[in-house]
A and B are shown apart, each in its own frame.
Chain A
C-alpha cells in the first residue's frame, strides 16, 4: 500500500513536470515575437543590429518610442480608441435590440435575419475578401475617407457575432422575471436597455470585447477606406511605418509593442469573457 502511494506520487510529479514543460514551451512559442519585439524596441539604435544580439544586458533607451510618438503615433491611438468606443456603444446597443427581438418576439423576416446572423459569423471572419466590394460600393455612395465609415464597417463585421453572444445570454434569463417586472410597471425600453444588460452582463462584456479587439486590430478595410492622416487607425499607421522606416527595426518594434500592449492587457483581464464568447458561437450543435 505504501509503495503504491509512493509510486503514484512519483508518477504525479513526473506528470507535473511534463505539464510544466509543455506550458513553458507554449509560452515560448506564443510569446517570443512579442517579448523579442519589446526587448528590441528598448535597445539603442546601435545595439538593435548588433550581432550576436544581447538578450538582457543592453543599455535601455526610449529613443525609438520617442521617434514613433513624434510620427503621429499617439494620434492614431486616439483615433482608434474613438472608433472602438463608437463601435462598442452603438454596436452593442443594436446587437442587444436585435438579440432581444430574436429571443422574445416573432416577426416577419425572423428566419431571414437568423440566417443572416448565422452566415455572418463565419463570413465576417473572412472579411478580407470584402475589401474590394466594400471599397467599390462605398466609393460609389461617397463614403470614402469619412470619419464614420470605419465605425460602420467595424460594427457591421461584428454585428452577427455580437448579436449571437447576447442572444445566448438572453436565453438564460427566465421570461417570468420580465413578466413580473412589467407587472410592477417597468416599461419596455427600461426592460431592454437596463434590466436585460444587467442580467446578462457577461454576454454584454464579451460582445463589447469582441468589437474592441476587432476594431483595434482591423487593418485591411481601414487601409483603403480612409486615406487622410487624421482618420488613420493604428494598424494602418504601423503598416505605413514599414515603408517609412524601412529596415530600422527599432522604431518598428517600438510601434508594434506599443500597439499590442493595450489589447494584451485588456485580453489578460477580460480573457474569460472572450473565451466564453468564442465557444458560445459554435459548440452547441
Chain B
C-alpha cells in the first residue's frame, strides 16, 4: 500500500528530527571544524589543517592509548558475551517468575549509574581496607595490590566493564533464543541430535544476529565508556588505564586543548560510525 505524501507527517516528526539534528549531528560538524584548528582555552589561534591528526598518529602515547582501548573493549566484550550466552542458555530452560527474577538481577549493573558502580567497586578493591582483599586474606592468601598496580588495575577495569554488560548480553541473547521456533529444536531431537548438536547446528546459526547486535552495542558502550575509567582509576597508575575517551576528556577539560581534543573525538566518531554501520547492516530493517 503506497500512501500519498503528506505534510502532516513532516510536522509530526519535526521536533524529534530537530532534536537529533541539534544534539547529535550539528555538533559533529563543529567538532570536525575544530579538529582542523589550533584552539586552546576556547580561543581559536589559527587554522592548522591536518596537523592535529598528524600529531595524534605520530604520538606514541596516543597510539598506546588507542591500542589499550581496543584491548580493553575486546576483552570485556568476550567475557560478557560468553557469560551472557551461558546464562541465557541456562535460563532458557527454566520458566516463570524465576527466569524473570534472573533477568532483573542480571540487568541491575546495566541500569545503575556507572559513577555509583565504579565508586563502589573502588571501595571493594581498596588494597588495605577493601572487601576483596579481606576475603583473599581469609582464605589464606596474601593481599594483592589492585588499583595501584598497572597490570591489576587494567584487569580490574576490564572485569568491571564486563560485569556491567553481562546482563545486557544475557537479556538480548535470551530474547533471540525465545524467537527460535520450538519446532526446529524438536525436529532436530527427533532426528537424533544430542543437546550439543542442537546448540551447535540449530541455535547457534539462528543466534548469529542477536549475538552480533549485542556485541556491537557492548563494544560501543565499552569503547566510549568514560565514566568507569574516570571514577575507578582515572587513568592511573601512570597511564596504565588511560583509555581514548579519557584522553579526549583530559585534553579538553584539563589541558584546554580543544582542537586536539576534537581530533580525538572525530577519530572516535569514525570508529563509532563503523560500528553503527555494521549494526544497521545486521538489523536488516526496511522502512
A interface with B by C-beta (< 8 Å): 19, 22-23, 26-27, 29-34, 36-37, 40, 49, 51-53, 94-95, 97-98, 100-102, 104-111, 113-140, 152-153, 155-157, 159-160, 163, 188, 192, 213, 216-217, 219-220, 224, 235, 238-239, 242, 249, 252-253, 256, 259-260, 263-264, 267-268, 271-272, 274-275, 278-279, 282-285
Inter-subunit contact A106/B113 (CB<8 Å): no
Known: A94-B15, A106-B5. A34 touches B115 (CB 8 A): no
27 CB < 8 A contacts A-B:
A23-B98, A30-B105, A34-B108, A97-B15, A98-B15, A98-B16, A105-B6, A105-B9, A107-B5, A107-B13, A108-B5, A113-B17, A120-B20, A122-B272, A128-B226, A129-B248, A132-B261, A132-B264, A137-B30, A157-B24, A220-B226, A220-B227, A249-B129, A278-B168, A283-B172, A283-B175, A283-B213
List A contacts of B249 (CB < 8 A). 131-132, 220
Contact A159:B20 (CB < 8 A) given known A105-B6, A235-B113: yes
Beta-carbon contact of A283 and B124 below 8 Å? no
Contacts of A256 in B (CB 8 A): 115-116, 119-120
Contact among B23, B258, B269 with A157 in the assembled complex (CB-CB below 8 Å): B23
- A279's nearest neighbour on chain B, judged by CB, is B175
CB pair A34 B19 closer than 8 Å: no
State A217–B128 Cα separation when bound (angstroms): 30
A263–B123 CB distance below 8 A: no
Report B206 CB to chain A, min CB distance, Å.
11
Smallest CB separation, A224 vs chain B (Å): 6
Bound form: Cα–Cα A242–B106 in Å? 27
Across-interface contacts of A120 in B (CB, < 8 A) = 20, 24
A130-B24, A134-B27 given; A36·B120 CB < 8 A:
yes
What is the minimal beta-carbon distance from A43 to any residue of chain B, in angstroms? 12
Q: Measured between C-beta atoms, what is the minimum distance from A212 to chain B in Å?
A: 10
CB distance from B99 to the nearest CB of A (A): 10
Interface pair B12/A98, CB less than 8 Å apart: yes
Shortest distance in angstroms between A115's beta carbon and chain B's nearest beta carbon? 8
B30 pairs with A140, CB closer than 8 A: yes
Which residues in chain B, 43-59, are within 8 Å of chain A measured between CB atoms?
none
B221 cross-chain contacts in A, Cβ below 8 A: 125-126
Task: Encode B272-287 as 1/0 by CB contact (under 8 A) with A.
Answer: 1001100110111101
Chain A contacts of B214 at CB under 8 A?
282
Interface check B262, CB cutoff 8 A: yes
Bound Cα distance A111, B3 (Å): 14
Given the interface contacts A53-B129, A278-B171, does A213 sit within 8 Å of B120 by beta carbon? no
A97 touches B12 (CB 8 A): yes
Tell me, in angstroms, the Cα distance from A140 to B220 when the chains sit together: 28
| Chain A contact residues: helix, strand, loop or mixed | helix
Q: A36-B131, A106-B5 are in contact. Are A252 and B123 (CB under 8 A)?
A: yes
**Once the chains are docked, how many angstroms separate the CA of A260 from the CA of B261?**
32
How distant is the Cα of A211 from the Cα of B174 in the complex, in angstroms?
24
B114, A282: Cβ atoms closer than 8 Å: no
B123 with A253: CB separation less than 8 A: yes
B157: Cβ under 8 A from any A Cβ: no
Given A107-B10, A126-B221, A235-B113, are A116 and B283 neighbors across the interface (CB < 8 Å)?
no
**Which residue from B3, B114, B131, B248 sits with its C-beta under 8 Å from A132?**
B248
Q: Which residues of B contact A122 (CB under 8 A)?
A: 216-217, 220, 272, 275-276, 279
CB contacts under 8 Å to A, within B65-100, are 87, 90, 94, 98, 100
Contact A129 B272 (CB under 8 A): yes
Which of A40, A116, A219, A260 touches B227 (beta carbons < 8 Å)? A219
Q: How far is the CA of A234 from the CA of B272 in the complex (A)?
A: 28
Known: A271-B107, A285-B282. A94 touches B19 (CB 8 A): yes
| Bound Cα distance A108, B6 (Å) | 8
Q: What 8 A-B pairs are tightest by C-beta distance, nearest first?
A: A107-B9, A105-B9, A156-B23, A133-B27, A126-B224, A98-B16, A133-B31, A279-B175
CA distance A100 to B223 in the complex (A): 34
Asked if residues B119 and A238 are in contact (CB atoms below 8 Å), the reply is yes
Query: Which residues, 92 to 146 on B, are CB-close (under 8 Å) to A?
Result: 94, 98, 100-109, 111-117, 119-121, 123-124, 128-129, 131, 134
- Verify B23–A153 contact, CB threshold 8 A: yes
In the complex, what's the smallest C-beta–C-beta distance from A269 to chain B, in angstroms?
A: 10
Q: How far is the CA of A275 from the CA of B287 in the complex (A)?
A: 24
Tell me, in angstroms, the Cα distance from A147 to B126 when the chains sit together.
37
Are A105 and B3 in contact, with the CB atoms below 8 A? yes
